[in-house]
């Protein structure tokens, strides 16, 4: 199975990024985790992205806060799909990172999830890998069915309590 690369701009992003690592782990999807910064270690970010396809990655998650150029900088150097996580790490509540990550120019896409949306970033990577992996696709379907059942059970409880 292809690996997912998880890059964060700083180790201070780890509390958010851990949710993506855990989600990939739940699905048995292998990942590699690194701290590479678009601004502080641009050469390492570039080198990782340029070699990612040859190194067996199928998708890349890039998490960064503030002037969050990491996902774009990674995407500029690979044709692998890049999922950006804007991290809430500043006085601007993550809006700075959201806009920096999502507003990519045509030609270099970054699929941007919600501010701190690490679980969905991982799920998008799993969905990308599941296009050519039926057992992964079945796990995704089973998780969706379980989530639906959970909401239906909550609804039944609420309806019994309030709708006499």
Residues at the site binding ligand RP5, with contacts judged by CB under 6 A: 9-10, 12-13, 37, 64-66, 87, 89
Q: Residue 164: count other Cβ atoms within 10 Å of its Cβ.
A: 5
Which residue lies nearer to ligand RP5 by CB, 65 or 84?
Answer: 65
Q: Residue 21: count other Cβ atoms within 10 Å of its Cβ.
A: 17
The position carrying tokens 């998780």 is: 143
Smallest separation (angstroms) from ligand RP5 to the CB of 12: 3
Which residue lies nearer to ligand RP5 by CB, 14 or 108?
Answer: 14
Smallest separation (angstroms) from ligand RP5 to the CB of 30: 23
Which residue lies nearer to ligand RP5 by CB, 122 or 129?
Answer: 122
Contact 49, 77 (CB under 8 A): yes
Smallest separation (angstroms) from ligand RP5 to the CB of 50: 20
Smallest separation (angstroms) from ligand RP5 to the CB of 158: 38
Beta-carbon-side half-sphere exposure of residue 48 (alpha carbons within 13 Å): 28
Q: What's the rounded Cα separation, in Å, for the pair 141 and 138? A: 5
Which residue lies nearer to ligand RP5 by CB, 64 or 129?
Answer: 64
Residues 6+ away with beta carbon under 8 Å from 99: none
């Amino acid at each position: 199975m292809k690996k997912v690369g998880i890059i964060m701009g700083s180790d201070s992003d780890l509390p958010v990024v851990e949710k993506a690592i855990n989600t990939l782990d739940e699905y048995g999807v292998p990942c590699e985790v690194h701290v590479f910064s678009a601004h502080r270690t641009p050469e390492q970010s570039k080198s990782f992205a340029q070699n990612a396809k040859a190194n067996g990655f199928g998708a890349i998650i890039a998490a960064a806060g503030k002037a969050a150029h990491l996902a774009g900088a990674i995407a500029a150097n690979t044709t692998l799909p890049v999922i950006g996580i804007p991290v809430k790490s500043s006085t601007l509540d993550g809006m700075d990172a959201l806009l920096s990550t999502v507003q990519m120019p045509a030609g270099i896409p970054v699929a941007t999830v919600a501010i701190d949306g690490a679980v969905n970033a991982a799920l998008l990577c799993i969905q990308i890998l599941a296009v050519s992996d039926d057992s992964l696709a079945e796990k995704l379907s089973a998780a969706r069915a379980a989530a639906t059942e959970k909401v239906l059970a909550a609804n039944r409880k609420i309806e019994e309590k309030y709708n006499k």
